[in-house]
Amino acid sequence: MEQNLNAWYAVYTKPRWEKKVAALLERKQLENYCPLNVVEKRWSDRRKLVQEALFPSYVFVRISKDQQRAVRETEGIVNFVYWLGKPAVIHDHEIDLIRRFLREYRSASVEKFPIRQHDLVEINAGPLMHHRGRIIEVGNNKVKAMLHSLGCSLVATVPAQDVTVIKKTDLNYV
């Protein structure tokens, strides 16, 4: 017996439609969150503070599974963000963390850091969790890492989000 509880999901929107999508979801009485960041825009004749989406092309929505169709039918929404073949569930504490961060810091930015060949990494999930190794190949959201164990090298292909690049200061490996 599956419970039909509300959970947070991320939806992918058309470019620059984040605020419009949030308003359309609001009209449908669907709980949503579009984290906005205050950014200074400059033109040749003036400056202005504007609110932009912290996560370009993403809006978070808290719904039950029964409401997924209504969300998909909302103008401006391309699709849900998927993880392992299902719409990705975002934990409440992660949404709370984003809200708290934006309350405390006037201007924030989201930066992606690349995983490059030869980076030292630690695996965060799966059967190889907490093992460290070196990236030997980077592909479509997957990386191949060489893990030294028992005097031989194991090569594992893992999802890129399951690895953390090890800073040079954190090295007690290799």
Q: Are 137 and 144 in contact (CB under 8 A)?
A: yes
Residue 19 confidence (pLDDT): 96
pLDDT on residue 169: 56
Q: Would you state the structure tokens that stand for residue 29, as one six-digit string?
A: 């009485």
What is the pLDDT at residue 4?
58
pLDDT digits (tens, 9 = 90+) for 122-154: 777 776 677 778 877 777 677 777 776 544 555
- Spans of all domains in the chain: 7-104, 120-170
Q: What is the pLDDT of residue 75?
A: 97
102 within 8 A of 51, measured Cβ to Cβ = no
Q: Which of 70, 64, 66, 85 is closest to 21 using CA atoms?
A: 70
What pLDDT was estimated at residue 149?
Answer: 55
Quote the pLDDT of residue 72.
95
| CA atoms of 49 and 140, how far apart (whole Å) | 37
Tens of each residue's pLDDT in the chain, 174 residues = 445 589 999 999 999 999 999 999 999 999 999 999 888 889 899 999 888 998 889 999 999 999 999 999 999 999 999 877 889 899 998 899 889 888 887 667 776 667 777 788 777 777 667 777 887 777 767 777 777 654 455 556 777 777 778 876 555 544
Neighbours of 5 (CB within 10 A): 7
CATH of 120-170, one of 3.40.50, 2.30.30, 2.20.25, 1.10.3470: 2.30.30
Superfamily name and number for 7-104: NusG, N-terminal domain (3.30.70.940)
Q: How many CB atoms lie within 10 A of CB 50?
A: 10
Q: Which two tokens stand for residue 46?
A: 């003036």
pLDDT of residue 151: 47
pLDDT confidence of residue 105: 75
Three-class SS of the chain: CCCCCCEEEEEEECCCCHHHHHHHHHHCCCEEECCEEEEEEECCCCEEEEEEECCCCEEEEEECHHHHHHHHCCCCEEEECEECCEECEECHHHHHHHHHHHHHCCCCCCCCCCCCCCCEEEECCCCCCCCEEEEEEECCCEEEEEEEECCEEEEEEEEHHHEEECCHHHCCCC
Q: Looking at residue 1, what is its pLDDT?
A: 42
